[in-house]
Amino acid sequence: MIQGISGSTALAGVLGDPVRHSLSPAMHNAALAELGLDWAYLALPVAPADLATVVRALEALDCRGLSVTLPHKHAVAALAAELTPLARRIGAVNTLVRRPEGGWLGTNTDMEGFLAPLREEGAGAEGWQGRTALVLGCGGSARAVVAGLVELGLERIQVAGRREAALAAFLESCREWAPELEAVAWGEDGVAGVLGTALETAVAASDLVVNTTPVGMARGGDPGASDACPLTAAELERLAAGATVYDLIYVPRPTALLRQAAARGCRTVDGLEMLVQQGAASLRLWSDLAEVPVAAMRRGALAQLVG
């Protein structure tokens, strides 16, 4: 809850369309209260046609920082005065930071958010080096995931896509910084027999499986969506006990994929921690603070989820 708003309260927020469902206000306002910052973080619904006008207006209003979510992560990059190398590599911006000289710096904290739980799990001398990962999906979220996996130093990264052209384009767009990516065939109508190995084979060989698709996400008015799973029963059977399965979805908790992976003895991670950690990374950039209250952000997001 936002409290103590006055004439000196500064604004931060998240741009999206729609954005009413966002957990970011609960998450960030919990952190701002604990830090004692006189800021308010709001959900700001913005239609694509109005994006440029709103971004310029928020700079003029001395907005302290902006999160950016769908469908604006690509379009907002053109409105930034400067992009970080990571934002250029991923091809999307999820955070706008005020520059001292004016204008917005566009960056992307999704990779940092994705990596946080994996770094904790893989802490040790070797970490994730020498291991194999499988990424399900080849959309926008998959780019941040692949960039993170390259950062972790995995030996082998496979990407599964249902459409041959989309998968080939995705791999080609990553070639400059991830030249060893491998294509994986997925589905009867997709790339089976055209590109890569079969999905069952890739699942069996993977130490880490990451779902970047929306399959399994709970949607209003569709009670069956939460039972959907991106892997078939035959593919799930190939999961190795002890492998890590990471689903970027966090509603429902757990997803069908994570329920079934846990039943096979796999370690599981959902997307809530990625959301919290990418938000914490953004807040550090906006506030210029080395540490922000991640636990408070996690509690705020959880309270909104169950509220």
Enumerate the β-bridge partners of residue 65: 12, 97
DSSP 124: S
Residue 198, class by beta-carbon neighbours within 10 Å (0-12 exposed, 13-18 middle, 19+ buried)? Answer: middle
Q: Which of 28, 64, 72, 73 is catalytic?
A: 73
CA distance 102 to 124: 42
3 state DSSP class of 141: helix
3-state helix, strand, coil in the chain (%, to 5): 40, 20, 40
Q: Give which of 220, 218, 206 is closest to 134, Cα–Cα.
A: 206
3 state DSSP class of 52: helix
Show the CA angle centred on residue 70, arms to residues 65 and 73, nearest 5°. Answer: 60
Alpha helices in the chain (DSSP H): 24-35, 51-60, 85-90, 110-121, 140-152, 164-174, 199-204, 233-236, 256-263, 271-287, 294-306
CA distance 167 to 184: 9
Residue 73 annotated to the active site: yes
Residues labelled as active-site residues: 73
